[in-house]
Structure 1
């Protein structure tokens, strides 16, 4: 019975590793074992037309639908204004005054390390844009209007900021967009100045929206830790994660019945908060002007292209009047400290998964260690030692139980032989033996049970912390969030696990004994695909466990076990 329970725990642990392995494969863009149809495929199967998708509101419809008074892109002499700071390189299209490309100069591309990470872009099957404009006033300037860029400095030289000013006049309304980029900052200040040049009052509304295609990492699954999709935060409803699939389904319903109500899976009104597109290690978020009512919308724009945004009323403007609105656009890494400064709740996009309650303080401890060691690999090793010290009493109890189990294994084998035809009597005899020898049949499982939540939480920390992305350890380990390129750590893991297995009492069942010896090999193969930082933790943990088990067996086990 004790061996069976221990085997079950190993199986649970193995299943956990399979799930984590699936997460890692998905996060690196490889196929998953749990692959659903992508949004575009779902739409095709449902027969959803390209124009499908009901409006979030009357204002939201104008904000993200076809715009009246839009210029002909072929006729408009557009200009791409490129701004370069010490951390970003941004391209702003004067057609619509939208950010069409954003390159992060301090973060390399996951696939090609020689290139920089690019967020906003419009190429082939990738669409990722930041758009703003006006609705509510007839033919007011929007993200399809032609803007004029004022001359100015385009590169951050000796100063601390650089600005781009775009102007457009249409329908008797003038819109001036001012983008301000700052040194060492991924936050872009976005100011809109709206003037009524007509003879009658107007009531314009400002929209801010992020547009993204529905393509997620290939093989996306329910267990995908590399989440890509819309997110938002309001003081009342807190942090919400949405999906492109949900927007697609709502669009299909509205195509069948235009009177379908607003989606119920996210709040639609607030006077604070933010909207964003989150992805692995990075996020782009619009933070509208504070304490100003806004309407939140999500919408399908065209096949496999979606939007999340807000619409803010600017009040009634008398002829000749001007109103200003200040917002922020953060587009960069999911750095907790930086995100906390931008807006409350924005740090929540750094997703630690189901074990956030363990992973978040775990990362804090590791961050303190890193402040001393200045190397994430040595930080993981130091953290592993701390964990072993913390759980030493539980591990000691488990190893003492295993030491006693080794002594009574011959007696257990004799009981099985004597009562092999009567399971009830065999279990009763086993329980008597445990009671007489003062053995906890589950004591040997304690080391495994203790390590599992820490192991899984560390996986999420490695998978969510952009600080460790590209962080080296020593020699061949140049990125702790990527697999070991030479497979040295998985081999060391297999060796250490083999030694650990041999130190434990052998199962009486020969088949179970073979399975226990096979598991280290199976796990080491799976670890070929795991982050090297995670395998490093497990190797160090095994080495410490071997030493701990040897010491306990020699010093604390009963005399007969010695």
Structure 2
């Protein structure tokens, strides 16, 4: 009975974990979760202080002019740095394109390797580089800024390009300057690019050339439709949408549907933080200067087109006076070390799901190991060894129980035959046998149970960390964040599972024994669609477990032989 409970618990844990991952995938593909639709997370809105008069954020946001989804780029201005190609439009001096020169677009895993051969799918010959911002008829994703509060230049007005040089070339810094005049107000936008930096420092200088004082407000916003990014992996359930960060409520993600239904909850009035548009592995974010009072907003500007932004009131400008507001616009990969340096909390756009508390330390350890070995695959192998070493005392106790159980299997079978008509007496005899032989009937489950949180956390690390995107290991494994294109790792894992079954006690029930031998095949099929790095972790864990179990079996057999020799 004890051994059957152990087996049942073991498979329930494993199947439950795998089912959770599979259910997550089904939701991403457009299906319904087995557990039903999750409730929308409610985030508290910042208290509005009555003593501070201010226009309602939603009303203030309506001052910013709208832009239609298919608005063409009239006069593109292309700036090239060592890391990206940025396209501006003279209409508003808005950023309408960011191409990641160091991140090529990836083919879906079903288009390469054995899966591609079986399905007859081939990737396009030239997938190009990853593009974040775009302004094309089928997709709108742009960054805008401008002035409101009067007849001032906005992102819908024409600007002039002042700068002549549009390439970083061998330099470390490049300023690209645009100018516009409207209503007696002159606006100069200076975009500063730096070598090795995906961000752009944006300086907006406003000069009052009228004969009256003015009090303009400057806005920074990102406008995007709700479509998934091009090349989004079919195996990953990832968030695409806006996010705000403030010290009041920290990180708050917004669903496009909530913005459309005017149900989005976020901190509106604040003097800190940033706003972003998040997608798998990449992010675009406006980071205004900290300490400026601002009003955050989110709205649907037209059908399936959404804007999130912040509105900042500048100081009053007397005739002839000028003022400058500074912000940073980042559009690039979610590299955690880089994001942490840019702004507080910006690294939170790397979504590790509900296991963030465990996934972040695992990523930190992986990154540390990668710094030593220079290969993410070997870093995963070392991580597995470390986890195995930490859990060694617990797993060793479990394996000893299993080894002793294997030796007493004939005696257990004899007891089952003897008391087959008396379940109560059989249970008593089995418990007495366990006490005599110092066997914990569920001891073998604990090592696997403790591995499950690490397994799930590593799943989120492989899914969310851009550092592992396209990371090779050896030979045929050229992307640890994607499934093994030739299914070699899942098959090797099945082989190691089969060896583990041979080392463990054989079930006395013939049906259960057959099921045990079928399980490696079932698991190998399920692991075909998991990231290669995840399968590598489990394969390494199995190999170490086999070595540990073999050694313990050998030790216990020798101890028993010595005891029998003394009798």
3-state DSSP of counterpart to 1:175? strand
Shift of 1:435: 2.8
1:8 matched to 2:9? The reply is: yes
**Deviation of residue 383 (structure 1)?**
1.8
Q: For structure 1, which segment, 151-160 or 503-512, has the greater mean C-alpha deviation from structure 2 after superposition?
A: 503-512
Q: Which of 136, 139, 143 in structure 2 is aligned with 1:126? A: 139
- Structure 1 residues 66 and 21, CA gap change in structure 2 (3 angstroms): closer
Say if 1:444 and 1:230 are closer, same or farther in 2 by CA, change over 3 A: same
Q: Which residue of 2 aligns with 1:246?
A: 258
Residue number among 210, 222, 227 corresponding to 2:239 in the alignment: 227
Separation in structure 2 between the aligned mates of residue 116 and residue 389 of structure 1, nearest angstrom = 41
In structure 1, distance between residues paired with 2:6 and 2:149? 67
Q: How far is the alpha carbon of 1:549 from its aligned partner?
A: 0.5
Task: State which of 199, 202, 214 in structure 1 corresponds to 2:226.
Answer: 214
Question: Could you tell which deviates more after superposition, 87-96 or 342-351?
Answer: 342-351
**Alignment deviations for residues 425-454 of structure 1 (CA, whole Å, 9 cap, x no partner):** 544443333333322121010221121111
Matched ranges for 1:338-417 at <5 A:
338-417=338-417
Aligned twin of 1:63 = 64
For the residues of structure 1 that align with 2:522 and 2:561, how far apart are their CA atoms?
A: 31
Q: 2:482 & 2:32 partners in 1: Cα distance? A: 20
Partners in 2 of 1:229 and 1:403 — Cα distance?
A: 52
Structure 2 unaligned regions, length at least 5: 38-55, 108-123, 563-567
Q: Distance in 2 between the 1:304 and 1:182 partners?
A: 34
Please give the alpha-carbon distance, in whole angstroms, between the structure 2 residues aligned to 1:527 and 1:187.
38
Q: What are the residue-to-residue correspondences of 1:371-520 with 2, within 5 Å?
A: 371-420=371-420, 423-520=423-520
Shift of residue 288, structure 1, vs aligned partner? 0.7
1:407–1:560 contact (8 Å) kept in structure 2: no
- Relative to structure 1, is the Cα distance of residues 331 and 66 closer, same or farther in structure 2, using a 3 angstrom cutoff? closer
Contact 1:359-1:457 at 8 Å conserved across structures: yes
Deviation of the 1:508 alpha carbon: 3.0
Query: 1:424/1:140 Cα in 2 relative to 1: closer, same or farther (>3 Å)?
Result: farther
Give the number of aligned pairs.
522
Q: Deviations over 1:330-382 (max 9, x none)?
A: 11111111111111111111122222222212222222221121111122122
- Give the aligned partner of residue 116 of structure 2: none
Alpha-carbon spacing, 1:467–1:66, altered in 2? closer, same or farther (3 Å): closer
- SS of residue paired to 1:86: coil
| Greater alpha carbon shift after TM alignment, 290-299 vs 380-389 | 380-389
CA distance in 2, matches of 1:246, 1:543: 48
Report the Cα distance in structure 2 between the residues aligned to 1:64 and 1:422, rounded to whole angstroms: 82
- 1:148-199: per-residue Cα shift (whole Å, max 9, x none)? 1113200111211122211112223222211111111011001111122222
CA pair 374-11 structure 1, distance change in 2 beyond 3 A: same
SS at match of 1:306: strand
Deviation at 1:78, TM superposition (A): 3.5
CA contact (8 A) 1:78 1:95 kept: yes
Q: 1:511 to 1:296 in 2, by over 3 A?
A: farther
Distance in 2 between residues matched to 1:94 and 1:424, nearest whole Å: 85
Residue equivalent to 1:49? none
**2:160/2:180 contact within 8 Å kept:** yes
Matched, 1:82 2:78: yes
| TM-score (norm. length: structure 2) | 0.86
Query: Match of 1:62, SS?
Result: coil
Q: CA deviation at 1:553?
A: 1.1
- Assess, with a 3 A threshold, how the Cα gap between structure 1 residues 451 and 194 changes in structure 2: closer, same or farther: same
- Offset from partner CA, 1:24-52 (integer Å, 9 cap, x none): 6877xx56564999xxxxxxxxxxxxxxx
- Mapping 1:208-357, distance limit 5 Å: 208-216=220-228, 225-250=237-262, 263=264, 265-357=265-357
Cα gap change, 1:391/1:319 in structure 2, threshold over 3 Å: closer, same or farther?
Answer: same
RMSD: 2.8
Match in the other structure for 2:539: 539
1:88-140 deviation per Cα after TM superposition (whole angstroms, max 9, x unaligned): 10100011211111001111112367411110012343221111111111x32
**What SS class does the counterpart of residue 63 from structure 1 fall into?**
coil
CA distance in 1, matches of 2:131, 2:320: 41
TM-score, normalisation: structure 1:
0.86
Partners of 1:297 and 1:419 in 2: CA distance: 73
CA gap of 1:288–1:546, structure 2 versus 1, over 3 A, is: same
- CA spacing shift, 1:6–1:93, aligned 2, 3 Å: same
Change (3 A) 1:241 1:430: farther
Bigger RCO of structures 1 and 2 (CA < 8 A, at least 6 apart): 1
Q: Give the match's secondary structure for 1:388.
A: helix
Aligned 1:129-208 pairs, distance under 5 A: 129-137=142-150, 139-208=151-220
